[in-house]
């Protein structure tokens, strides 16, 4: 994908506006048979909650969706109001003047998506935006440059970076190292988060500090591919006995919270191509995250499970064999 393709994919997020709300004793959620509205109180403008926003409100307020449907409108409104009051301060995300989502208030600011992409391009040079995922009003962007490294003969990877940011300012941006395995186009993130930007203190937001952070972080992530590849090479040296392969795979599937249907596909692939090394086992999970799983949050969980398995500090916790052998 090029920059224009990415911007088109995330365009719905850029059309959303944010509004900060401080909960007060006069704040009310009013539930009617055909509409839900939020009255922020203290003279603030009442705003309608769209259908997607109603689901978000229930989740955000920790009220089961089914429960609100069983209650009378008046009772449902009072329950949602009471639970929402525990948040004290939060952000409303609006499209067409209606609330489409609720989010925890963060001391962050919206980031211009086009400028984020241009900054990444300048940091790496020739780039390919491999995949873009959107979830919870954030963007996870996987990008690779032209640099290639070899794990072993016939198994090359392309260096890159994973960037997570929010055009709406609901989370702080984060960067990880990323490599794309060219043999079957599945990618993995490095075990550690390279850098997470914390707003405030130095101006934050749209100031030069955040953009300098982006430039430095993406450049460092790109250059750290050597370290990631060396770790992969070590994993190739760690053989898994045939009798232990099912145990290792099941531990990885649990860690990744992979659904039953996807897990069956992964198991079938493992029968066809038995994971002889830790590297092979990890690649079964990264393959699932790149080829089988669609939900962005599930993709992220699978990526992090694979990266933990590759981590020298986290591997022992996940791998059932290493509990007794290392």
Chain center to CA of 155 = 27
Which two tokens mark 43? 């003279």
Q: What predicted TM-score, i.e. pTM, was given to this entire model? A: 0.80
pLDDT number for residue 204: 39
Q: What is the pLDDT of residue 203?
A: 37
Return all residues near 66 (Cβ < 8 A) that are at least 6 apart: none
Over residues 276-325, the pLDDT tens digits come to 999 999 999 999 999 999 999 999 999 999 988 888 777 888 888 876 55
Distance between CA atoms of residues 166 and 13, nearest Å: 9
SS3 35: strand
Helices (H), the chain: 3-14, 51-60, 65-70, 73-84, 113-124, 208-223, 225-237, 245-256, 260-272, 278-291, 296-310, 315-318, 322-325
Burial class (CB in 10 A: 0-12, 13-18, 19+), 190: buried
For each of the chain's 326 residues, which pLDDT tens digit applies?
899 999 999 998 888 888 888 888 899 999 988 889 999 877 778 899 998 899 899 999 998 877 877 889 899 999 999 999 888 888 889 999 999 988 887 766 778 999 999 999 999 987 899 999 998 889 999 999 999 999 999 999 999 999 999 998 888 888 989 999 998 888 887 755 556 666 544 333 445 588 888 899 999 999 999 988 998 999 999 999 999 999 999 999 999 999 999 999 999 999 999 999 999 999 999 999 999 999 999 999 999 999 888 887 778 888 888 765 54
- 71/62 Cα distance (integer angstroms): 15
């Amino acid at each position: 994908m090029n920059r224009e393709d990415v911007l088109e994919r995330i365009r719905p997020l850029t059309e959303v506006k944010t509004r900060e709300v401080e909960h007060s004793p006069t704040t009310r959620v009013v539930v009617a048979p055909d509409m839900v509205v939020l009255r922020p109180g203290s003279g603030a403008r009442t705003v309608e909650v769209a259908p997607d926003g109603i689901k978000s409100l229930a989740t955000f307020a920790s009220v089961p969706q089914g429960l609100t449907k069983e209650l009378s409108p008046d009772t449902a409104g009072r329950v949602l109001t009471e639970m929402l009051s525990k948040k004290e301060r939060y952000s409303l995300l609006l499209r067409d003047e209606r609330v489409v989502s609720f989010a925890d208030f963060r001391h962050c600011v919206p980031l211009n998506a086009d400028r984020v992409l241009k900054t990444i391009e300048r940091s790496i040079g020739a780039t390919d935006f491999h995949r873009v995922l959107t979830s919870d009003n954030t963007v996870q962007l996987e990008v690779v440059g032209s640099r290639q490294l070899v794990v072993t003969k016939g198994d090359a990877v392309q260096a890159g970076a994973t960037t997570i940011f929010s055009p709406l300012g609901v989370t702080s941006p984060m960067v990880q190292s990323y490599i794309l395995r060219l043999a079957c186009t599945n990618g993995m993130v490095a075990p550690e988060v390279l850098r997470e930007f914390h707003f405030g203190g130095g101006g934050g937001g749209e100031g030069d500090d955040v953009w300098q952070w982006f430039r430095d972080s993406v450049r460092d992530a790109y250059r750290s591919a050597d370290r990631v590849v060396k770790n992969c090479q070590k994993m190739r040296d760690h053989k898994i006995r045939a009798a232990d392969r099912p145990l290792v795979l099941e531990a990885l599937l649990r860690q990744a919270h992979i659904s039953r249907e996807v897990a069956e596909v992964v198991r079938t692939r493992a029968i066809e191509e038995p994971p002889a090394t830790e590297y092979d086992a990890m690649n079964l999970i990264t393959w699932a995250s790149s080829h089988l799983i669609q939900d962005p949050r599930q993709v992220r969980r699978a990526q992090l499970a694979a990266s933990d398995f590759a981590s020298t500090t986290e591997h022992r916790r996940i791998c059932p064999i290493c509990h007794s052998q290392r």
